[in-house]
Amino acid sequence: MTALFEHSPWVEQRADARPSSGNRHTDLMAVVHDATPEEQLALIRAHPELAGKAAIDKTLTEASAAEQASAGLDRLTPEEFEQFHALNAAYREKFGFPFIICVRLTDKAGILAAMQARLANDSEAEIAAAIAQIGEIVRLRLEDLS
């Protein structure tokens, strides 16, 4: 079964413990938005870096591996890999968590442009952006299940 949230089963467990609104995505994202700031950061930090170590050593979840491959991140040139590596490092240094984007809605060039642009954000804006992107990832994973 596809994990909707990377290494974070607590989101689905909490949603299951609440009355349903009839919209699974809405229910799941309500749990994320109601979570403590520490829990939200843990959720963000549970995601792998794009084209990072987990992709190289094959420890990505099945869903993440497929999603990264859909954007061509499994077929980077050495120059592209260096660009991703440098931007991942700068991003993690600034924010303390990996860059998150719904790769199924963009491509390599779009991801690189978003990484560069979002490095200008402050932490609050970037946490909100990461959560919004997690919401898009989960929305698409739910669609795949239906």
Helices (H) and strands (E) in the chain, counts: 8, 0
Among all residues, which ones are annotated catalytic? 47
How many structural domains is the chain composed of? 1
58 within domain boundaries: yes
pLDDT band at 34 (very low <50, low <70, confident <90, very high): very high
Q: What confidence score (pLDDT) does residue 111 get? A: 93
Averaged pLDDT for residues 36-48 = 95
| Domain, as residue range, for 49 | 21-145
How far are the Cα atoms of 6, 56, 83, 85, 98 from residue 118, in angstroms, in the given order? 22, 24, 15, 16, 12
10 within domain boundaries: no
Assign residue 92 the CATH number of its domain: 1.10.3330.10
15 within domain boundaries: no
56-74 per-position pLDDT tens digit: 556 667 887 788 788 888 8
Q: What confidence score (pLDDT) does residue 30 get? A: 98
